[in-house]
Amino acid sequence: MAGPYTSASAVTERVVVNRHSGLAIDGFDPVAYFTDAEAARGQPDIEASRDGAVWRFRNEANRAVFLSHPDIYGPRFGGYDPVDVARGKTVVGQARLWLVSGERLYLFSREDNRNAFAANPEEVVKQANGQWPALLETLSAY
């Protein structure tokens, strides 16, 4: 659920952040999901801080691309599972359970949710979009 893992974001999302490390998406490179089609860990020496989160990248090119378009490369719904968001709940997605759909990155809390999303992404996103504004109000920001 929401709580110590959230941070304010300028792109109308609340990004899931590890409360101990400050890392978004567990230190995985958000651009690599798109460019390499894989969940790849970023390097500790290639980071960017944005909107209260620390993002890590595999290389400087990915860092530059992300900083130019964080609204595209950051996970949709801030990294919360879109299937759970559609159900009116905020459950943190896992960096290794992901899909890119409609040119956006989605993270999932469990395999069943990823499969449900893959079967009908447009409907899940539509329902999640309807729930998201109210859920944002319940998330604490630092």
Q: What is the pTM of this model?
A: 0.88
The enclosing H or E element of 127 equals helix 121-138
Q: Please determine, for residue 76, whether its predicted confidence score (pLDDT) is greater than 50.
A: yes
CA angle at residue 82 from 43 to 100, to 5 degrees? Answer: 50
For residues 65 and 79, state if they share a domain: no
What's the number of domains the chain is made of?
2
Residue 4 lies in a domain: no
Give the tokens for residue 45. 């020496």
Tens of pLDDT, residues 109-127: 999 999 999 999 999 999 9
Tens of pLDDT, residues 15-67: 899 989 999 999 999 999 999 999 999 999 999 998 789 999 999 999 999 99
For residues 40 and 85, state if they share a domain: no
Residue 2 lies in a domain: no
Q: Cβ neighbours of residue 116 under 8 Å, at least 6 residues apart? A: 83, 124
Residue 87 structural domain: 75-141
